[in-house]
Structure 1
């Protein structure tokens, strides 16, 4: 039985600004019928928009999201399990929505007219009293966060209606109501970071569209706002490209595993059709999540060559030498043949598809882990690069590639901001440009590099803080992922407390530079159903799933992304630090149970052991 002494006001992530919870035992009930119907019933509207500035599309999105929360939130209780009495407000508008300005006019202009969530348009305030509930927010995304916090501040109760007057279909059956307690309370909240992302890796394991949607909904509950979809890699090309169908037909299943011993069910249709992608992107929009695609080039492209052999570099000796137990057979970062014009034709067609399928203003095109040694082995490619482009040294191929890619990006992706992995800076830095062994095109390539490293493009930092000075000098914005790798190979944070507190000083420093766009947790090489043997950091083999590895860690990382930073940790006592940890754990345990049921994988982790090793 639930009892009155329990505190249901666990907001996760913790509000960044402030919140106040009353101690009065009187409770407020929001009728579920009007929520489910999203219409005025008996003169009562659940979401009452008070300002004309609200667009109809935003109103509909908000009402549908509220309905989705009521239907999807699994932490429900039967009325017989509730020992509390509730006052039902039946004469007043229960939730009043007020439009407020974004927190900064400059940042508002950078949010693409509130079509994507981006920090400064995600602020909200909630005032819940005995009379009504008021929400103040600057966009539909702030309103979504407010609704999530409302559901965390209470709990959903299932009722049975014999008359059918409260059920959606008008027939006898169950219906839900959201209950709030400990009135009055208010929350004043905004995110710490503008960009709060998770990477998923379908290039190494095909994730079913419905599973991706469950990930997206669970991210939304954690108040994250972006999904970085690493679509292709050496192991697979699992997305439909209509103009070049052999890419997905031959490249989607050519390996079928990411590690040895994986129990992988092959299917000839294990790629994402246009309808799949549109459905995923539309669902993400409905819960306030951006979807940013990545097609990693020019490396990690072995799968491209399965459909069109002349797209990729020929270096079998290099690949054989790179075989290891984790990567499997011949799967190590094969680069494209940058001398072949057909490569750029295919890239243009891929960009056309991505531009049509993904409306987000960002797109990721990789640029990481390019293997010069592989280019060294391909004598025919080297011969063409000398004859056609006067380039002798394979260390300059990446510069040439991006120089050749620039007009394609400008033509095919004119409104996109391009994201690169930080490796690009290693390969085309000033030293490489100055030593370029070409004839009459040194100035042209140097300018191309400057066009890559500028404020219009974004770098993703994953190896540590070493590139920060370069980014700061060139005033180049970046996303920070170091310390947030969750895959078996890296496991940057193994404990809840590590994921919560590590990198605090660095993040605070980067925030002051005004160049940090946000953070991203990277879930590489993940398999949903516990069917992959991973090599742990201590050398042991463990059978672990995506859910076991991801959610307990992401719980802590999402708090770090949203809530106020803790750079003062070195200045407080261990006792004070432990209080912070235990308070976070207390809120986290309830949230973890909710996530567990939301993604339909019960008991993914023992919440009592959340502060220990997280698998």
Structure 2
């Protein structure tokens, strides 16, 4: 009988909590929601109560209120209004990204241990406002803010969106728009895929041909496995000045940018720029086709190592992040098997296979990064496991052990590989392709499937849960050349991934998410963002 009462109480509590969450339309859903009986009336005369330590947050909040009421709010140090408080003691309970938001009849309090927490508290406040509040069309003079108390913090520290611009360049404005929307839904990592076979998109001053040659391709394959071309060139790259501008924009939105510089494979654009970088000796132009190409950096040549170190040094100088992604995926080992130079390198270093050589190379890059205060990240092929059908057993004979400091970006293969990675000491970001690839159509990954993703694989022992840093969702752009196409693939699924990354598993509820999404989609529509209509 007591056991029955306990179960009934738990079910009732979950129902009650879910009902409370359903009344607050915020994505991602907050951790704790307590509803009050009074509401706060927001008007153009509402002041922002702030001190020197919260000045940046006050300016950000001021810009939001000015958009809605078309007048700047007063900034005061005391009194009633919207009060912003930095309280370091909250870090114990809510961490560095958590916040508390309390709305009563007389004032609204947003409190956090850090500027980042305050920023996220303000983002939740934004979502309590009408969808059209920040548009020129908004004309109401008051907004009723429901009496509520939110206590909130993220489930995972890594909540990433990846944009591939090697295949199709999108430009500064498109990237800034994505950063704006990421910030609204509390995503904190922008993974920027800047180099690949079909284009080199980052200026490297020591090697100008990387953009003079590598950022241009003469044509583009029109569809998968097709000999047809679209009949027009494609080009574009970011100057270092533009990259610095975007980095500052991201920092203001508490987003870390992780650059990806592909090596040793997916290197055709670089090799076309400097042919001595390649293994084959036949690569003369940036690839106009997509897929897995044969050439790669010739990592048997010391000059190639120096080139890669030079490139990474400029990347270190540009990006504040202490993590750099090196790709490391889909190296065609058949090419290495047929290269006398590569085979001699394998023998010289006492290695057993091409996969062993890749780990050897990857460790050298990892050591170089660590000597410069950085940490390496790569797709899960860098572990040396067989994840592709074209890799034969003899190619995968591995004796080298990957540096434990490497972050593993899991995308393909058995989920057992995650268990292997964490038990060997690695941190993991889970981006299983069948659950997180935004270039996949909505039939393959409907919104409900995106929402159901759990970065912690079923069966992973509790002691390793902290090794799962979080998730990434990936926007590969081979077949998505236009910004509007990209938006349709990204939205609304990015909102589902944001909730996967932030919201505690027990608080997730797909029906409540859909109701909140309706309001968010209205905001997207008013912002001119194209999104996929329909929820599956």
Same fold, TM exceeding 0.5? yes
| Shift in alpha-carbon separation, 1:179–1:144, aligned structure 2, 3 A | farther
Mapped contact 1:27–1:179 kept (Cα < 8 A): no
Partner residue in 2 for 1:152? 127
Mapped contact 1:293–1:363 kept (Cα < 8 A): yes
Unmatched 5+ stretches in structure 2: 1-21, 388-392
Partner Cα distance (2:30, 2:445) in 1: 25
Tell me the matched-pair count: 497
Partner Cα distance (2:345, 2:425) in 1: 37
Mapped contact 1:123–1:137 kept (Cα < 8 A): yes
Mapped contact 1:151–1:178 kept (Cα < 8 A): no
| Shift in alpha-carbon separation, 1:397–1:12, aligned structure 2, 3 A | same
Mapped contact 1:234–1:333 kept (Cα < 8 A): no
Mapped contact 2:429–2:471 kept (Cα < 8 A): yes
Partner residue in 2 for 1:374? 335
Does the alignment pair 1:238 with 2:198? no
Deviation at 1:501, TM superposition (A): 1.5
Please show how residues 86-101 of structure 1 align to structure 2 within 5 Å: 92-101=79-88
Partner Cα distance (1:208, 1:178) in 2: 37
| Shift in alpha-carbon separation, 1:390–1:93, aligned structure 2, 3 A | same
Partner Cα distance (2:419, 2:158) in 1: 21
Partner Cα distance (1:227, 1:13) in 2: 17
| 1:329-374 CA distance string (max 9 Å, x none) | 6762632111112211111111111111100122111221121112
> Residue 291 of structure 1 is aligned with which of 244, 252, 257?
257
Partner Cα distance (1:27, 1:471) in 2: 50
Does the alignment pair 1:520 with 2:472? yes
> Residue 124 of structure 1 is aligned with which of 84, 92, 99?
99
Unmatched 5+ stretches in structure 1: 1-6, 33-43, 80-88, 108-118, 161-172, 437-444, 532-543, 570-579
| 1:226-282 CA distance string (max 9 Å, x none) | 1011111111111100001111111111255465378697465x1110111001000
Please show how residues 186-585 of structure 1 align to structure 2 within 5 Å: 186-254=149-217, 256-257=219-220, 259-260=222-223, 266=233, 270-314=236-280, 328=289, 332=293, 334-382=295-343, 393-411=353-371, 414-426=372-384, 446=400, 449-450=401-402, 452=403, 454=404, 456-463=405-412, 464-482=414-432, 483-488=434-439, 494-503=445-454, 506=457, 509=460, 513=464, 514-525=466-477, 530=482, 545-566=485-506, 580-585=509-514
| Shift in alpha-carbon separation, 1:329–1:480, aligned structure 2, 3 A | closer
Partner residue in 2 for 1:41? none
Partner Cα distance (1:207, 1:522) in 2: 15
Deviation at 1:197, TM superposition (A): 0.5
Partner residue in 1 for 2:532? 605
| 1:116-161 CA distance string (max 9 Å, x none) | xxx931110011111111121011111111111111112377799x
Partner Cα distance (1:198, 1:405) in 2: 25
| Shift in alpha-carbon separation, 1:157–1:179, aligned structure 2, 3 A | farther
- Normalised to the residue count of structure 2, the TM-score between the two structures is 0.81
Partner Cα distance (2:132, 2:440) in 1: 43
Partner Cα distance (1:45, 1:512) in 2: 47
